[in-house]
Amino acid sequence: MRDVTSLENGTPRKTGESRLALGGICKTRRHKTGTYRASISDQHPGLQERNLQVWLGEIDENTFHNIDDPNSERREKNIFVGLTNLGATCYVNTFLQVWFHNLELRRSLYKCQNSRAQEHNIDSDYEPQSICEHLQYLFALLQNSNRKYIDPSGLVKALGLDTGQQQDAQEFSNLFLSLLEETLSKEKNPNLQNLIQQQFCGQFFYVTICNQCGRSSTLPSRFYELELNIQGHKNLTECITEFLKEEKLDGENRYFCENCQSKQNATRRIRLHSLPPTLNLQLMRFVFDRQTGLKKKLNTFINFPEQLDMEPFLERKLDQKCVYELSAVLIHRGISAYSGHYIAHVKDALTGDWYKFNDEEIEKMEGKKLQLGIEEDIAETGKTQSRKPKCSKGYHCSRNAYMLVYKLQEEESSDSLRTNVEVPSFLQKLVDQDNHKFEEWCMEMANMRKLSVDKGRAKHEEVKELYDLLPAKDGEPYEFIPLDWLKKWLDDSTATKEIDSSIFLCSHGKLHPDKMGEIKRVSLQAAKLLYERYGGGPRLDGSSLCRDCVSERCRVLRLKKQLDEDYKEISNLVKRMPSSEGYWVGKASLRSWRQLALEQLEEDDDESRHSNGQTNGQGPHTNNKFGLDVSGGAEDETETFNEDIICNHGGLSILEAERKLVSTEVWTKLREYFPKAPEFPHIQEPCRQCLTLEQEEKDNEAVSKMMALDQKNQLLNLFHEKNRPTLIKWPQGTDRLYIVPLFFVEEWRKFIRRPTKSSPVSNVGNSLLLCPHGGFMFTYDSLINGEAQHIALLWPNEWEVISRLFIVDKPIVIHCVRQTTPDSSTTLYTTQPDLCWECRESFLFQQQRDLREYTQATVYIRKVIEDKMTAKDGTPELNACSSEAEEEREELPKVDGDKDPDFSQSQDGAKRMKLNDSCEASAATTSGTSMIKSGGIRRSTRHRKLRGEKALIVSANQTLKELKIQIMHAFSVAPFDQNLSIDGKGLTDDSATLGSLGVIPECIICLKADEPVTDYAAMDDAYQVRMPEEGFKGTGLLGH
């Protein structure tokens, strides 16, 4: 090998590998005549274009860091402060912004007593406690914070809201105002106690007139918002008119007239009495769908004015003003009631400008006009798209607005006290503290940006300085630098790690030839500067290339080529007429010898690619025709090739079908690849120990057949299940029967059928039926009611045979004692050993507990029509799952020439029984494969599904409502239309768990539907809701 530096700039090409395989190491040298720029472009064109050209030119300082400008988090001039969306809290943010812009509400909240804020030490963080304290602090930040948006998590946490679940916005508004009203009622300032009522509360009367006597009754009622039905209406006036229209009370809804002292037909209407300064109008977009049992959204366009005159809707004219101005529009974007996004359009009471509040983002509308814009764009199919109606001047139209807020129109006032709301000093102190933290954070971010920029500029100068030094010219000293390290050095503007060249070393501690494509040649001067600045090592140059690894690669390539030729030659030789002389080779080895040899070569090649502590030049082929050493990695191969014909004693296998006689010429070639393979000439005799064992096995089989035949003849009726005793009808002529485990009988029958394939049974094992105290676990009643499936009954004469043939640990006898008196005759049944009542009760308790505590169990829902089973419900389903059939099938191996003519077996493995014996036998024993296991007894719970019946997977801690959701998906029956029952007992408590309702595994639940649902499209929302909706249950809005 005269020249190995030809590999210095990359991995050998396939043409070079061909030269190596033909017997010579690649002697060509590909010189780099261009500059370092050309060298990089040749091998890694992206490196120069992506990195070098960038570093050598002018660089934008923003590339030196990934820190956003902290001023992007700063509040813009004349723009309000936003609120962070904590996951699904956009509905909270919209109402907070609307309430913040209610100047009277904000001004009054600032007046609430807050000793905690007034006495707060600015050295610690302020943590509000009550709802008023949270609103005070939040409103003060919204008013004077320097931040672009603030975090409302303190208030959300205090309310106990789930930030990951979107709730009903209307319900939140009602509950929050109710909670705030209750909190303010405890204030000492009387002007604050009725704040919510003064701002939002109006009054109307329910006026009912009896059609019989004409008597009129009036019932006053307060409201905080008017809930307006929008279905079938086009504008707000129609919605209010319908809200106030007259309603007829007749039929079951008749009115009890106190004057007539009986129920009478009547009319009822709502009469508005007084209106609040802030009029909230709820547009009922989210309605209950009776078919699905869920809410759905109405995407109806509603036209509403900027100025609303409520005087026409008042019953009697009042001195108060009734003209309102639109101040806020709350929007829900999305087509479903269970998903979407909430935003708010709010009018600034001071300037009259409109703003869109979208969580953190605040947008000012142009021209002091409300612009709904893309908020009206929702996903619709082509068939259901509806065109937006035209709106007159001063009107707006929306199909996503769900709440309109109107403020009572007031005369323009120059009184600044009515228009300006000042933040109290104790709250401003807290705002200043937060602003100070924000400014410190901005300063810290700016310093981090500057530090990164300074480091980047220094790196920039370093790259430009080293660029001219990097190319290694021909004839001058050079070193190798890892290519990945150079890329990171060019990519990263931050500190670069030290140079690590250890991963490019072979097991000999030198440069591996396969790693040449992962390193780059640079000048000695450049390498010296890089190592001085960044450190690392080991340093590699042209003399570091490992000659041993190059030689190993050449050897492997040559052998791979020779292997193909030898494989063809050996295949042709094996196909010729076999001779009477030669060597024994395993057929499996002969079929896979080429793959085994190739795998060995690949292992040798892999060893040469990785550092494994061995000398890669020492291969596994000593004394072969290539004259190479084989002392290294051949041990694994000699353990496989031709060892398939070695017996356990190290001799030649006695199985002639597994070996083949090959010629001496074939064996000689195979030995070149597997020099340590076991050698067996044609005169080699098979292992004598194996021959002896084979003969002993044949003798043992003959003994087993004789033993099976003898036992079968002595217990013929037990084997054929003929003339079996039963407990229901005690047999005449005996006062006792013996009990053994059914498992023992089944295993014994398997041995009798196939004595050569099954092990003989040596003991009975009655302890399986006894408790730890030695007592019996079953009563006579339990045996005749199903638990007899675990036992087999024996006649006394059969027990004598079994006692003689097998080892019995503990006999179990059941006695029948008949007591006769002149007046009556009674029969008593006793067992020996006696029943252990303590263990029996513990077993029954655990059994009942298992039926109440289960997970992933199967129950069957059977739909009935008019209290009758569905048609053909008595017929099992033809397409019953195969797993059930497989459970019942006892799979028995087929043995040719070993069939018992006295034993007939059905196709599915179940034993046939005589028709007249089937009823009696079922009471005493069952022909199943149930086994008694320690710790409990497995009951047979197999169920035959009927037509119209479906299986569901449930758990004991699952509620009945959750089960109804599953049934809705399976049968398309809404939960409120489901009537469920078990054995005639109705299941009605939706909040109860299935375990508490007595729903046990494998039980049948009958389903009767009040009215079937055929409109599957109406159930789209149902598949978006996996769990029953709980609303604000468990939150602070409901007092937890």
What own/partner pairs with CB < 8 Å and gap ≥ 24 does 99-106 have?
99/135, 100/138, 100/139, 100/142, 100/143, 101/327, 101/328, 101/346, 101/347, 101/348, 101/349, 102/199, 102/278, 103/349, 103/419, 103/421, 104/199, 104/277, 105/195, 105/199, 106/139, 106/143, 106/421
Using CA atoms, how far apart are residues 575 and 157, in angstroms rounded to an integer?
84
Cα angle 336, 342, 348; round to 5: 150
Residue with tokens 């395993």: 586
Structure-token pair, residue 625: 């025709």
Is position 341 annotated as part of the catalytic site?
Answer: yes
Note whether 107 and 355 are within 8 A (CB).
no
Using CA atoms, how far apart are residues 32 and 457, in angstroms rounded to an integer?
32
Q: How far is CA 430 from the centre of its chain?
A: 44
Is position 322 annotated as part of the catalytic site?
Answer: no
Residue 669's φ and ψ, nearest 5 degrees, are -70, -40
For residue 889, count CB atoms less than 10 angstroms from its CB and return exposed for 0-12, middle for 13-18, buried for 19 or more.
middle
Element (H, E) at 864: strand 857-865
Structure-token pair, residue 961: 């409502």
Using CA atoms, how far apart are residues 1040 and 1034, in angstroms rounded to an integer?
5
Residue 979's φ and ψ, nearest 5 degrees, are -115, 110
Given the residues 332, 341, 345, 396, the one annotated as active site = 341
Note whether 649 and 690 are within 8 A (CB).
yes
Given the residues 26, 90, 322, 836, the one annotated as active site = 90
Using CA atoms, how far apart are residues 337 and 1021, in angstroms rounded to an integer?
8
Residue by residue, what is the 3-state secondary structure of 62-117? HHHCCCCCHHHHECCCCCCCEECCCCCCHHHHHHHHHHHCCHHHHHHHHCCCCHHH
C-alpha closest to that of 946 among 888, 857, 1008, 869: 869
Please give the DSSP secondary-structure letter assigned to residue 985. Answer: E
Taken in order 429, 433, 436, 438, is the CA torsion positive or negative?
negative
Cα angle 1005, 1010, 1015; round to 5: 105
Q: How many CB atoms lie within 10 A of CB 279?
A: 21
List residues bridging with 405 in a β-sheet: 280, 328
Give the active site residues: 90, 341
